[in-house]
Structure 1
């Protein structure tokens, strides 16, 4: 506090208040890259459908 410039706004509390936590995942065994000439957009649709199906079935 005071004249240091590191008060509530620019100190640790201020930074935590204005940021969001995010998860970063990394696939180690098998990558998610499309294979066999599949375009990225089509691969994204395939993965999205697969994950929605797994979620609907209650599989994690």
Structure 2
């Protein structure tokens, strides 16, 4: 029987590193998309100004309940 190249702990760490790298790539892609960044800034501004509704309010307003 051959010995595994990586321990269970090492595999978990490697999977975590892979996930973090994927998240980093996704973040960089979003940051490079000027239109998306403007949309995000506008959405954050609207949140600060109270121009948003909770999910419950939205469901009530659209008869989704």
Hey, which of these two has a bigger chunk of helix by percent?
A: 2
TM-score range, shorter chain: 0.3 to 0.5
Q: TM-score, normalised by structure 2?
A: 0.31
Q: TM-score, normalised by structure 1?
A: 0.33
